[in-house]
Structures are given as structure tokens and as C-alpha cells.
Amino acid sequence: AQSVTQPDIHITVSEGASLELRCNYSYGATPYLFWYVQSPGQGLQLLLKYFSGDTLVQGIKGFEAEFKRSQSSFNLRKPSVHWSDAAEYFCAVGPSGSARQLTFGSGTQLTVLP
């Protein structure tokens, strides 16, 4: 069965500092990988996705993520964090079975200090 682990429940960074959010997955084949962001009281917004090709993918809002098969990781990065980036971030892996479902991690809450 596929699974996603986000080891950091909560991360705090200062505005302007770099950011890396960790995601490790377990999957039997080549995965599709996603990062979503959720602001309080809102739905999830897709930041970026990986399904094949270049292992470094660019997303919206200046985010990027790197797929490392050897480490089963798909970490999210941003070189300079803005206060508006404060939110919860979810990593997801799929598809699963004939239903082609996604499995979500438990999320990382990002706090940005002024």
C-alpha cells in the first residue's frame, strides 16, 4: 500500500529565509507526486506536480520540488519565504489501483516570522 510521510508537523522560518519541507513516500511503481497548500478555512491549492521527466519541477508562487527516487523523497523548496506563504502544506502520492486515488500526508504547518 502506498503511503506518505511528512516528518515535520510544524516549521517556523523568518521572512526572507529559505525553506525546505520534507516528504517521503512509499510506492510500488513510478509515482505521481504532488504538493498542495491550504490557507486557513480554504480548500487545497495545487502548487506543483511530478509525473515524469525532469526531476526538478517548478510550481506556482516560486516553489520548486525535487524528485529523488533513491531516497523516495519529494521535498518542497523556496529560496526566500514571504509572510503570505504561512499555511499548511500537504504532499500527496498516486495513483493507487484502478480507482487512481491519491494518498495525502498529514501536513506541515508553516509559520513565517516577520
Partner 1 sequence: EAEVAQSPRYKITEKSQAVAFWCDPISGHATLYWYRQILGQGPELLVQFQDESVVDDSQLPKDRFSAERLKGVDSTLKIQPAELGDSAMYLCASRGLYNEQFFGPGTRLTVL
Instruction: Using CB under 8 A, pick the residue from 25, 87, 105, 110 that binds partner 1.
Output: 105
- The grid coordinates listed for 70 are 533513491
Query: CA geometry: angle at 48 spanning 73 and 19, to 5°?
Result: 60
114 binding partner 1? (CB under 8 A): no
Instruction: Using CB under 8 A, pick the residue from 1, 28, 29, 43 that binds partner 1.
Output: 43
Q: Comparing C-alpha atoms, which of 2, 16, 22, 29 is closest to residue 85?
A: 16
In the chain, the amino acid numbered 53 is G
SS3 92: strand
Contact range with partner 1 by CB under 8 A, out of 21-29, 64-72, 75-83, 91-99: 91-99
Query: Please, are residues 106 and 7 in contact by the beta-carbon 8 Å criterion?
Result: no
Number of residues binding to partner 1, judged by CB under 8 A:
23
How far apart, in whole angstroms, are the C-alpha atoms of residue 7 and residue 33?
17
51 binding partner 1? (CB under 8 A): yes
111 binding partner 1? (CB under 8 A): no
- The residues pairing with 15 across neighbouring beta strands, listed in sequence order, are none
Instruction: Using CB under 8 A, pick the residue from 2, 94, 110, 112 that binds partner 1.
Output: 94
Interface with partner 1 (CB under 8 A):
32, 34, 36, 41-46, 49, 51, 90, 92, 94-95, 99-102, 104-107
